[in-house]
Amino acid sequence: MKELLLRISTEALATDAVNTVSEVVSNVAVVTQEAASEGATALFTANNIWMMLATALVFIMHLGFAGVEAGFGQSKNTVNILFKNTITPIIGLITYCFCGFNLMYPGEFNIIGDGILGFAGFGIGYDAAASGPSIGYASAGYTYWTDFLFQGMFAATAATIVSGAIAERVKLSAYMIFTVIYVGLVYPFLGSWKWGAGWLDAMSFYDFAGSTLVHSVGGWGALAGIIVIGPRLGKYVDGKVIDKPGTSVPLAVIGVFLLWLGWFGFNGGSVLSADPDLVSYVLVTTCLAACSGGLFGFFTAYFTFKRMDLGMVLNGILAGLVGITAGADTVSINSALIIGAVAGVIVVISAITLDKFQLDDVVGAVSVHLTCGIWGTLAVGIFSTNADHTFMTQLIGVLAYGAVAFPVAFLLFFILKKTIGVRVSEQHETEGLDSHEHGIRGYTIVYDN
């Protein structure tokens, strides 16, 4: 009897022990799952916050462009310049919402070829409420809405590049029409070739944050614009380049520093996560390239013009930033310094060359964004630590974008020239666009009697 009771007691204890262990294991599994879920949510939140901050920094770049263009432009055209820089992000974001985003990121919707032209439909119709948490979007990097806004800021930037080059003589109506088409259709179509997983992406063409996709595409548009519209009155006389002093050098300097600040979001946000190692590394390469670009812009201008040219230092900084944008995450620190230095040299040479051909670029947009954008893209094929990034593939990408962006932009400006006209009257250009097109001046001095 005692043995029976002992056996029953032992079995009961064993059963209780098994149940207890099972319960503990079950509780541990639940806690682990909850911890993993909380960790994923925390990472998603951190990534998204950084992406939203980066978006804000890219937005600030529009203020930087406004400062540079208004500072380098003549005072009689200040309001006109600022008007274009204000309307550009408005047009850019609306057109990107209407069709650009789904044209640039078409997904599986192919219209022509495999990754050549696709379109996922008009508008941004993602229903966040119906689809539940956005944590599954973009590999838990950020939300659909953050993605749209971040990419939309890039689209508007491409149009702003054109604005500075053709300032002080372009009709506002012609510029706005050009911007709607170029930003709404041309830029996202070209962008889909790489960032939309298109044919160039399949070839391993690499452009981290847009030396070609943003800056060269904008630069090709700027080059087409200054060719079709022609130089400002009195800019080139008897083979000589006549300087037209800008309104405010301090304003131009402030604009460049705002652009430099914005580039931390432009390149740092292109990591598409808050990865501390990669983001911080990208910011370092970006900043060092800007420094070497400014330094070698200064050296080149000094040996060329025999003066300490602040304008070339400023454009050298921007040249270094544009140059490093294509490979900021995949080149070494020393390579970043070299890329910036070369950009600082060629931006000066490019500006001189344009003047020799009497191509009037008010702010040096073609030299900064097109010339240095091409250099930065090719530099990936030279300096990248990734063996898949070859010079030939980078060259094919550069040529492909130029073969489409320039002719299309040229055709747009040419059609506008033959229809509504692209240039203001000689009287308006001479007296200033502010009074004639806007009814106010940017700088008004009132003397008390």
* pLDDT tens string 216-237: 999 999 999 999 999 999 999 9
The tally of CA atoms less than 13 A away on the side-chain side of residue 340 is 29
Q: Which residue has the higher pLDDT, 115 or 328?
A: 328
Q: Which pLDDT score, from 0 to 100, does residue 23 have?
A: 58
Residue 132: pLDDT band by 50, 70, 90 thresholds?
Answer: very low
Ordered structural domains, the chain, with CATH: 55-438 (1.10.3430.10)
Region 88-115: mean pLDDT is: 89
pLDDT at residue 127 above 60?
no
Q: What's the CA gap between 68 and 260, in Å, rounded? A: 12
d(CA 118, CA 139): 22
171, 424 contact by CB (below 8 A):
yes
Query: Region 190-205: what's the mean pLDDT?
Result: 94
Say yes or no to pLDDT of 354 above 80: yes
282-326 pLDDT, tens digit each: 999 999 999 999 999 999 999 999 999 999 999 999 999 999 999
